[in-house]
Amino acid sequence: MKFLHTADWQIGKPFESIEDPAKRERLRSARLESIRALRPLVEEHGAAFVVVCGDLFDSSLPDRATVSALCGAVGSLGVPVYSIPGNHDFGGPGSLWEEEFFRAERTSLAPDWQPLLAPRPHPLADAVLLPCPLLRRHEALDPTQWLRTVPEDLPGDLPRLVLAHGSTQGFSSEKDENSADAANRIDLAHLPAGAYDYVALGDWHGTKQVADNPPAWYAGTPEPDRFPRGEDNRPGHVLLVETDGHGVPPRVTPISTARIGWHAPDPVSLQGPEDLKALAETLATLLGPRTDRDLLRLTLEGALGLAELDQLRDLLETYHARLLSLEVDQRVLPEPTEEELHSLTGGEDPLIARVARTLAEEAGTDPASRELLRELYLQVRAHSP
């Protein structure tokens, strides 16, 4: 029996840092499309169902359009979907999961989607699900606590699959205001040995195995929603889990699913035209001819001549148009070449020459003067016949 394990879709995430509202909307809809794109994987691998371990919605109060869109996407998967609430979309009385509009849309658009909202065994034909839903944003008690005593009357031969959301012992979740963090701590070592066959986890956005016996994995988010944070964090996967019944270790295979590229290369130092050319080649290799599919965060250092700075500006403007988002930490200092300096200081306008000479004298120690000098150069060039 095979199934897919995924988590942390965070549909409805606003991405307010993206200035262009049209691009922001494209990113949001692309992430929703990536949920629909799980269907070919379900078919290709013959997955019997999909489990989603929390944070399907980014917020505990999604707007109606987001609710409908997610129900539509889940309904398109073609197999039963079982989910638990996470810290972003926690359950409990009055939660979104109990709202009339959500229930109606789920029934209408995704009748095979079953949110598991209580910690009790949920037997299926070919497995037993043991959901550990979060019923508030910050749960002080370990959500898997109820499994420290093995529930009675579990079918003897079916694989026992724990579904949980939170951070695990010795492996802390991301330290941001949205993470489950110090609350929602899961202590896998307290689960009785041999009682369960697989622990499907959500909350950490990278794909990661955190325990061996039973195997416990974070699926990670199938579509990254932030710039990478370190080598250890590999988002952009779902897990294909294959099990032969209770007591047999399952096989777990990460499948790459990311469609949007979030690139944050190391800072680039630019010291001359060769470096500028190398940067253009690096970006062409990284991004290819793609448009509307990538976000890039770039830190640029060094010093360039005035004409080179102008070329750099053109290069960045092109990618600014092509990419969903381009953030540049631009620290490159203008360093006019002798020729550029001469064209200003030796020019025919005595006032410009005087200003340029003063700025050039100060440019060695004062970044503001360098910036003014660069601006002056561009103005003079733009207005010269």
**What is the C-alpha separation between 214 and 106, in angstroms, rounded?**
33
Collapse the DSSP code of 203 into the 3-class scheme (helix H, G, I; strand E, B; otherwise coil) and give the result: coil
Q: How far is the CB of 250 from Mn ion (least distance, A)?
A: 24
**What is the C-alpha separation between 21 and 70, in angstroms, rounded?**
21
The answer to whether residue 225 forms part of the interface with Mn ion (CB under 5 A) is no
Q: How far is the CB of 30 from Mn ion (least distance, A)?
A: 21
**Among candidate residues 130, 101, 106, 102, the one with its CA nearest the CA of residue 116:** 130
- Among the candidate windows 27-35, 144-152, 172-180, 302-310, which touches Mn ion by CB under 5 A? 172-180
Nearer to Mn ion among residue 85 and residue 254 (C-beta): 85
Number of residues in contact with Mn ion under rule CB under 5 A:
5
Amino acid identity of residue 174, one-letter, is: E
Instruction: Convert residues 31-50 into a mask of x (bound to Mn ion by CB under 5 A) and - (unbound).
Output: --------------------
Nearer to Mn ion among residue 134 and residue 270 (C-beta): 134
- Among the candidate windows 179-187, 317-325, 330-338, 359-367, which touches Mn ion by CB under 5 A? 179-187
List of residues 6+ apart from 134 with CB closer than 8 A: 54, 84, 85, 86, 87, 90, 91, 143, 165, 166, 180, 184
The binder of Mn ion chosen from 58, 105, 203, 225 (CB under 5 A): 203
List of residues 6+ apart from 383 with CB closer than 8 A: none
Nearer to Mn ion among residue 115 and residue 336 (C-beta): 115
Question: Are 220 and 237 within 8 A, CB to CB?
Answer: yes
The answer to whether residue 221 forms part of the interface with Mn ion (CB under 5 A) is no
The answer to whether residue 55 forms part of the interface with Mn ion (CB under 5 A) is yes
Q: How far is the CB of 173 from Mn ion (least distance, A)?
A: 7
- Among the candidate windows 131-139, 202-210, 237-245, 375-383, which touches Mn ion by CB under 5 A? 202-210
The answer to whether residue 86 forms part of the interface with Mn ion (CB under 5 A) is yes
Tokens of 7: 């988590």
Q: Considering only the C-alpha atoms of the chain, give the largest distance between any 2 of them, rounded to a whole number of Å.
A: 95
Q: What are 198's strand-pairing partners?
A: 161
The answer to whether residue 87 forms part of the interface with Mn ion (CB under 5 A) is yes
The length of the chain, given as a count of residues: 385
| Tokens 């699900």 -> residue | 129
The answer to whether residue 58 forms part of the interface with Mn ion (CB under 5 A) is no
| Tokens 């330290």 -> residue | 175
Question: Are 242 and 214 within 8 A, CB to CB?
Answer: no
CB-based closest residue to Mn ion = 203
Q: How far is the CB of 204 from Mn ion (least distance, A)?
A: 8
- Among the candidate windows 84-92, 212-220, 245-253, 282-290, which touches Mn ion by CB under 5 A? 84-92
Nearer to Mn ion among residue 55 and residue 142 (C-beta): 55
The answer to whether residue 10 forms part of the interface with Mn ion (CB under 5 A) is no
Question: Are 162 and 199 within 8 A, CB to CB?
Answer: yes
Q: How far is the CB of 372 from Mn ion (least distance, A)?
A: 48
Question: Are 156 and 246 within 8 A, CB to CB?
Answer: yes
- Among the candidate windows 53-61, 132-140, 207-215, 348-356, which touches Mn ion by CB under 5 A? 53-61
Q: How far is the CB of 3 from Mn ion (least distance, A)?
A: 21
40 φ/ψ angles, rounded to the nearest 5 degrees: -60, -30
Q: How far is the CB of 164 from Mn ion (least distance, A)?
A: 11
Q: How far is the CB of 115 from Mn ion (least distance, A)?
A: 16
- Among the candidate windows 68-76, 175-183, 289-297, 298-306, which touches Mn ion by CB under 5 A? 175-183
Question: Are 215 and 239 within 8 A, CB to CB?
Answer: no
DSSP H helices in the chain: 21-36, 38-45, 64-75, 100-109, 273-287, 306-322, 338-345, 350-363, 367-383
Q: How far is the CB of 7 from Mn ion (least distance, A)?
A: 8
- Positions in the binding site for Mn ion (CB under 5 A): 55, 86-87, 180, 203
